[in-house]
Structures are given as structure tokens and as C-alpha cells.
């Protein structure tokens, strides 16, 4: 890619967006377009149109979204649906209106059916009911994907639609009201060690299976695909390997030095029974992630401990 392209990274302060900023800066791109939420509310149609008219991006990477873990999704399903629909509709429409060269629409593995065959292939989309605990978010992501694809068909919009698995890494949230499974485990076990507690309680039964990918690896995958995958068809981005939440908790506990007991609150939901992506399409193009889960967890623990000491 031409290093002088004007690239708008929407959501540049989030976990995925900040990883993309680090990567593009490292690769020598000199004209990144960035805007804080306080400067640009992508839910606002007029503000979004004015921003695109003023900045005229060549490429748009839509990493802006309202995201959160199972508790946040269950508590605020309306917000997850509304906010994400508004963000997506405004940005994708402006990509056509302003003749953007390429749109990257970042999806999620939660778009697949709750009882999807495993590993989940791209063609399994819309083959069954969604997981109820994150249906609002999933519906929004499916709508955004389809809008990008329909605009590609109707107007010739060049769009890339990567669907990543569960992500983690730098700039993840540690707010238990909002955060994802892995960052929540890091916080719970790290706090227990610091406070000399001998018990940690975790939602669910621990039997649900999840696949994890470091956010720097998904940024690398997006960069890789922007040059080598010219299709609006979705493409899964993940490691292709999963584990139970119980196994994950044991790994995080060992990495934090927690030696106490773990209690599972089975009155709380597990979410989707299993989410493991089929990454055959991605690996056939030549991409594989580089950061192991153990390395990534160690980095996340260090980040959380540094934040806690401030």
C-alpha cells in the first residue's frame, strides 16, 4: 500500500483501533486521520458527513463500536443495538458518498448462531438463532456487514469484512461492568493476590469454550488482508484453537500467582456454549498469528498491575 494514503481509523483509542494506529505508524504511514469521541460522535449523521467532507479519507477502518462483556450486553441490549447501528450506518454510507477507496468493517464471531457447528465456517452465518445474551450486538454487526456487502454490490464499494474471535491485549477494559472474559479474569485474580484473598468467584460453570487472539495479531491480519484479500465475503480471523473458561481461569491464576480456590457461580449465564472459528480461508492466504496466549496473558497482567499502582 502507498504510505501516503489518508487512512481514517475510527475508534483509534479503543483496543483494536489503538493496535492499528501502532501498526500503521510502525509501517511508516504518514497521514492517519484520528478523532476522539469528544470531537466526533459517529452516531450523529450530520457530524459524520461534515467530518468526511473535511478530511476526505482514502481508506476507512471501522473499529469504532460499543463493546462489552456478557454483563454489559445483557444489561444494555438496546444501547448495543442502537449505538452500533448508528455508527455503522453513518460511516458506511459516507464511504460511498465520498468515494472512499476501501472500507474495512470489523465484525465479530458473535454473529454466528448460538448452536453453530464447530469450528465455525463463514458459510454458517444466519443458519440459526443467535446467542440471547449478546443478540443486540450481534444483530448490529450482521446489519453492518450486510450494508457493506450490499453497498459493494450496488455501488462498487470496496470492502473488507474480517470477523475476529474474542480479542484481548493493550487498552482492554478492566471495568467489571463492561469488560470481556479474559481481562475480567486478570483483574479478579490479580486483585485477589494483591489483597491476600483465598477465593475468587467467576460467572458461569466454566464449561463454555472460547478462542482468543491478541489484538496486535488481529491488527497484523487486517493489514495483511488489505493487500491480499479482494472480496466483500467475510473472512474469519482467529487462532483456530479454543479452551474452556475453566482452563483459561487456571492459566490466568497460575500467571498471577493465585493459589486459592475458584468458585463458579452457575446461576449466571455461560453465554454461547462454544465459539471457535474455522480459519482455513485465512491460513490458506498465508497468515498465522504470532503471539501465544501465555505471552499475551503475561502482558495483560503487567498492564493491569501497572494501572493498579497509579
For cell 459524520, name the residue. 48
Pairing type for strands 162-164 and 159-160 reads: unpaired
- Count CB neighbours of 199 within 10 A: 10
Sign of the Cα torsion 75, 235, 214, 102 reads negative
- The torsion angles phi and psi of 178, rounded to 5 degrees, stand at -125, -25
Judge whether 72 and 83 are in contact, CB under 8 Å: no
Judge whether 48 and 98 are in contact, CB under 8 Å: no
Judge whether 88 and 66 are in contact, CB under 8 Å: no
- Please name the residue ranges forming H helices in the chain: 15-26, 45-55, 70-75, 77-97, 135-155, 181-194, 215-228, 245-256, 280-285, 293-308
Known catalytic residue at 137:
yes
Query: Which position among 112, 124, 137, 229 bears the catalytic label?
Result: 137
Among 241, 238, 260, 265, which residue's Cα sits nearest to residue 250? 260
The rounded distance, in Å, linking the Cα atoms of 202 and 128 is: 29
Sequence-separated (6 or more) residues with CB below 8 Å from residue 145: 105, 107, 111, 161, 234
Catalytic residue numbers, as ranges: 137
Amino acid at each position: 500500500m502507498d504510505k501516503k494514503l489518508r487512512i481514517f481509523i475510527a475508534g483509534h483509542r479503543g483496543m483494536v483501533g489503538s493496535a492499528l494506529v501502532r501498526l500503521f505508524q510502525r509501517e511508516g504511514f504518514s497521514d492517519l486521520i484520528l478523532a476522539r469521541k469528544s470531537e466526533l460522535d459517529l452516531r450523529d449523521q450530520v457530524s459524520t458527513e461534515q467530518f468526511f467532507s473535511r478530511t476526505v479519507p482514502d481508506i476507512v477502518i471501522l473499529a469504532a463500536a460499543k463493546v462489552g462483556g456478557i454483563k454489559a450486553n445483557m444489561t444494555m441490549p438496546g444501547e448495543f443495538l442502537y449505538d452500533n447501528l448508528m455508527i455503522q450506518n453513518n460511516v458506511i454510507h459516507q464511504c460511498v458518498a465520498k468515494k472512499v477507496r476501501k472500507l474495512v468493517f470489523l465484525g465479530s464471531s458473535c454473529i454466528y448462531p448460538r448452536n453453530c457447528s464447530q469450528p465455525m465456517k463463514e458459510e454458517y452465518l444466519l443458519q440459526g438463532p443467535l446467542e440471547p445474551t449478546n443478540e443486540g450486538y450481534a444483530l448490529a454487526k450482521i446489519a453492518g456487514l450486510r450494508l457493506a456487502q450490499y453497498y459493494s454490490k450496488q455501488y462498487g464499494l470496496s470492502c473488507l469484512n474480517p470477523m475476529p474471535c474474542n480479542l484481548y491485549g493493550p487498552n482492554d477494559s478492566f471495568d467489571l461492568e463492561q469488560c470481556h472474559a479474559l481481562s475480567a479474569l486478570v483483574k479478579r485474580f490479580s486483585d485477589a493476590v494483591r489483597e491476600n484473598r483465598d477465593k475468587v468467584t467467576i460467572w458461569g460453570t466454566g464449561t463454555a469454550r472460547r478462542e482468543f487472539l491478541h489484538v496486535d495479531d488481529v491488527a497484523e491480519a487486517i493489514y495483511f488482508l488489505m493487500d491480499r484479500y479482494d472480496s466483500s465475503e467475510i473472512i474469519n480471523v482467529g487462532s483456530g484453537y479454543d479452551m474452556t473458561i475453566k482452563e483459561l481461569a487456571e492459566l490466568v491464576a497460575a500467571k498471577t500467582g493465585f493459589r486459592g480456590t475458584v468458585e463458579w457461580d452457575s446461576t449466571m449465564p455461560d453465554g454461547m456454549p462454544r465459539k471457535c472459528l474455522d480459519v482455513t480461508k485465512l491460513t490458506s492466504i498465508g497468515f498465522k498469528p504470532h503471539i501465544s496466549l501465555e505471552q499475551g496473558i503475561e502482558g495483560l497482567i503487567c498492564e493491569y498491575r501497572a494501572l493498579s499502582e497509579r
